[in-house]
Structure 1
Amino acid sequence: MSTASSCSPSVPDSPLRILVVTTRWDLVGGSERYAGAVVRGLCDRGFLVRVLTGGGHQESSAEVLISAELAAPGLNREGAGALRETVRAAAPDVIYLLSRVSADHLRILLGIAPLVRFVQDHTLFCPGLNKLHEDASACSSPLGQVCLERYFSTGCSGFKPEGSPSLRWPLKTLAANLRELELSGQAKLILVASDYMRRELLRAGLSPARLRVLPYFTNSIAMPAHDSPTLAALPAETAEFLAADDAPLLLTPARLTLPDKGLDYLLTALGQLERRAKLVIAGDGPARDHLQNKARAEGLSSRVHFSGWLAPAELESLLCAASLVLFPSIWNEPFGLVGLEAMAHAKPVVAFDVGGVREWLIPGETGLLCPARDAAAFSRAMAKLLDDPHQAQTMGARGQAHLKANFSRERHLALLGEWLSG
């Protein structure tokens, strides 16, 4: 176990002690960026915050406790004892759980302090993890027997036979989901970022009395219009790609996974785009080689740059430089934090119409929505905004106003503080 300095509460009267639990404490995706932002926000509001994590690092004024047991897929008796001791030593008044953990982990947390859980993805109620069928179409079935039936017929994107079909693994996986879902029903509250996710958890059997919708916020701050991004602050290869010509920049921040993030559809759409434009895909993941090979095969190498994961300040620079932000996810996105980051910089967004995206993107007002998996429609939407910079700027300005009115940091933290304290 290792620690960092703890945040200093701004109120003197016995501040609420909050233990934020997240399996990863780094900046590799939207969920992780939210974890860092919400910890800073809770500290700023005077709560005494500690973070319990399985690993990773990001700058924080909160005390960070590293627990190898939290990163384990399950717990033996020794591991359970070590985790229980670590959590008890933190003496939390309430636990704020941000990641999926096993039923063993969850049982320990529930036994020590009231627990508020923020469900940020589908892993709690989908053994395939992303609610996608094998053909990448969206799944609308609730967790249960239908999952086994599909496993042994068409399969799902992340839940299908590997090698010799056997009942043992799918039954074990489904049982783990059901146990964790049942235990989650004992939480003080279950938070989700969108009405879409609330509906999914209701269909999974959770009580409506325990569910609350808490939309994300972003700490992303737009650069003044008279400023320009500093290319020198970016990695050398990325800066060189941007400086090579003055073609409009398209930006997609994403974890490089398939099929959920839809990046293969994005490359197809770019290949159909008969406009001067270049694309930066900011992120990394197991599909990177496949996507780079696809870009080369389709003659897009000079128009596409894979930057890898970027530091927050580097991503801010790209958001400032971009003409459009693209959000090509084809799975039912629980929310889509990238959309808020784009709106903070007054950038219009082109996205597929999936999951909770409509809850922040107003079609025709703050961006354009396309039918899921329709690369041709996505290409036409990009062309429409590139051909009309005034419309793109107007949409970006409306998006920024929409963000300030409906997704403020202050509202999020006020509601969260109330629910954690109540």
Structure 2
Amino acid sequence: MRLLFVHRHLGELGGAEANIHLTAEQLGRRGHMTGLLYGSATGKGEDQWRATFSECFRLPGYRNGTATQRALEYFTPDVLWVHNLSDLEVLEALLQSPKPVIRTVHDHALYCMRSYKYDYFTRQICLRPASTYCIFPCLASVSRNHRGGLPLKWVSYSAKRQEIRLNQHCRRLIVFSDYIRQELLRNGFDGPRIEVHAPLFREGGGGKLGVGSWEEDEARQSCSPLSPNSQPPSSTPLPSSNLIVWAGQIVRGKGLDLFLRALTHVKTNFECAILGDGSHRAYCEKLSKKLGLSGRVKFYGFVGPEQLQEFFCKASLFAFSSVWPEPFGMAGPEAMRHGLPVVAFDAGAVREWLTDGANGFLVPWGNTNLFGVRIEQLLQNRDLAQTMGRCARERVAREFNPDRAIERLDDLLFRVVQETQTAASSQQSENFLNYEQRTVRTIASAPL
């Protein structure tokens, strides 16, 4: 089957890109031919992407609808697979094709003008559908411009409504959590078209934290998150250093500043490794010093997959402090794969893989005091931490099997192709029947 992926980027950047690349790799190994229609290159891992996708087509930035049609004529795909892309010309051209269009909803950008679904000032999670409330009082029409030039940019509410309407015509929408499924239902999407699928994980976490190979040698496989065909690593004693690991993009929504404040409530000796980079890093580094944590908290920046594995294998627990409504939160299950208990805020889809008191602690949103108390509890009670870590590892092995996940995606692709062919055949039969009826009426009404 020929699959055309459509995404705004070529190359590694974040969790969406890691998932897209890995999915294309695995489907390619199952005999599918994959191509990519994209907007811009990231400058990271581009050679690996070009090696995975047999054809790559770049949108010129003008007359993108025409460029899309040409890519379709050249590649002749069986399925059009949209990921993160808001270009209305491209979406219209794809939907005009007779081929089925499916979309993976990686985040909130499809239905949120700010894309992160929380109040800019308070970080309170938004539960409203896209509406005129987004214009006022939310003021989401005015957003930060990350592309240089003016600091602010205008976001069109009418364009966002049109984007939602176009995506409602996709034959399937793939989501990674029931939380995102509910968001789509809230925004008027058809329930039967939405399917929840387990995400695929790249060894080492992918995205901002490093990109590793899906295939690992035996020495590394014993401590790699969600590697295919591998068994969960055997239970090992937790390290004596009381190492806490935090990993992710350092942006406001990830709540690193709240995590640092939570650490001030921890009395037990500990070390903390902050892995990742982002626009909020400088602020958090200053805050760490201000809170008197600089001697125990170290910022490592971007780390590769091997380093990430080492941190996971040495850690006592994993802290997941996101305060934005996580569409899934891949870093959590990645840490759980290593037998780590997780302490996290109850935000978005986190509760779908973290059960309070079972594989870690689910803390009420923004409660830094209790967050610190739960960390203290795990550091002091090593038996409890190890029991929760074992539960976490077993849950990941049970619920996030990579072979089963790719098989479900493969099945989905064949189903949408079959449905499209059946619908086209039915339409042809209906058109032929209408033609016959019109012909009979014409003959009957003709003068003798």
Whether the TM-score (by the shorter chain) exceeds 0.5 is yes
- For residues 205-226 of structure 1, the C-alpha deviation after alignment (integer angstroms, 9 at most, x for no partner) is 1111211111223244899899
Residue identity in the other structure for 1:76: Y
The unaligned stretches of length 5 or more in structure 2 are: 146-152, 205-215, 225-238, 416-448
C-alpha separation in 2, matches of 1:41 and 1:226: 18
Summarize the Cα distance change of 1:88–1:248 in structure 2 as closer, same or farther, 3 Å threshold. Answer: farther
CA contact (8 A) 1:219 1:409 kept: no
TM-score (structure 1 length as normaliser): 0.82
Residue 186 of structure 1 is matched in structure 2 by 169
Residue identity in the other structure for 1:216: P
Instruction: Return the match for 1:304 from 280, 286, 297.
Output: 297
The unaligned stretches of length 5 or more in structure 1 are: 1-15, 163-168, 230-244
Which deviates further from its counterpart, 307-316 or 329-338?
A: 307-316
CA contact (8 A) 1:255 1:284 kept: yes
Residue identity in the other structure for 1:146: Y
Residue 236 of structure 1 is matched in structure 2 by none
Measured after TM superposition, the shift of residue 340 of structure 1 is 1.6
Which deviates further from its counterpart, 404-413 or 368-377?
A: 404-413
Instruction: Return the match for 2:117 from 122, 126, 131.
Output: 131
Measured after TM superposition, the shift of residue 337 of structure 1 is 0.6
Residue identity in the other structure for 1:173: S
Summarize the Cα distance change of 1:283–1:25 in structure 2 as closer, same or farther, 3 Å threshold. Answer: farther
Instruction: Give the match's secondary structure for 1:116.
Output: strand
Instruction: Give the match's secondary structure for 1:85.
Output: helix
Instruction: Return the match for 1:353 from 342, 346, 349.
Output: 346
Summarize the Cα distance change of 1:160–1:41 in structure 2 as closer, same or farther, 3 Å threshold. Answer: closer
C-alpha separation in 1, matches of 2:243 and 2:292: 18
TM-score (structure 2 length as normaliser): 0.77
C-alpha separation in 2, matches of 1:88 and 1:267: 53
Q: Which runs of 4+ in 1 moved over 4 A?
A: 64-68, 158-162, 221-229
Summarize the Cα distance change of 1:104–1:308 in structure 2 as closer, same or farther, 3 Å threshold. Answer: farther
Which deviates further from its counterpart, 272-281 or 17-26?
A: 17-26
Written as runs of structure 1 = structure 2, the 5 A alignment for 1:235-314 is 247-258=241-252, 260-314=253-307
C-alpha separation in 2, matches of 1:21 and 1:326: 33
C-alpha separation in 2, matches of 1:337 and 1:40: 19
Measured after TM superposition, the shift of residue 66 of structure 1 is 4.8
Residue identity in the other structure for 1:18: L
Residue identity in the other structure for 1:129: S
Instruction: Give the match's secondary structure for 1:356.
Output: helix
Instruction: Return the match for 1:209 from 192, 206, 226.
Output: 192
CA contact (8 A) 1:336 1:357 kept: yes
Aligned CA RMSD, in angstroms, stands at: 2.8
C-alpha separation in 2, matches of 1:224 and 1:370: 36
Residue 316 of structure 2 is matched in structure 1 by 323
Instruction: Give the match's secondary structure for 1:329.
Output: coil
Written as runs of structure 1 = structure 2, the 5 A alignment for 1:8-407 is 16-53=1-38, 54-56=40-42, 57-58=44-45, 59=48, 61-63=51-53, 65-69=55-59, 75-77=61-63, 79-112=64-97, 113-133=99-119, 134-151=121-138, 155=139, 172-220=155-203, 247-258=241-252, 260-407=253-400
Measured after TM superposition, the shift of residue 111 of structure 1 is 3.0
C-alpha separation in 1, matches of 2:357 and 2:280: 32
Measured after TM superposition, the shift of residue 306 of structure 1 is 2.0
C-alpha separation in 1, matches of 2:412 and 2:345: 33
C-alpha separation in 2, matches of 1:142 and 1:174: 12
Summarize the Cα distance change of 1:145–1:227 in structure 2 as closer, same or farther, 3 Å threshold. Answer: closer
C-alpha separation in 1, matches of 2:9 and 2:368: 33
- For residues 305-338 of structure 1, the C-alpha deviation after alignment (integer angstroms, 9 at most, x for no partner) is 2222222232222222221111100011111111
CA contact (8 A) 2:244 2:317 kept: yes
Q: Identity over the aligned pairs, expressed in percent?
A: 29
C-alpha separation in 2, matches of 1:40 and 1:361: 29
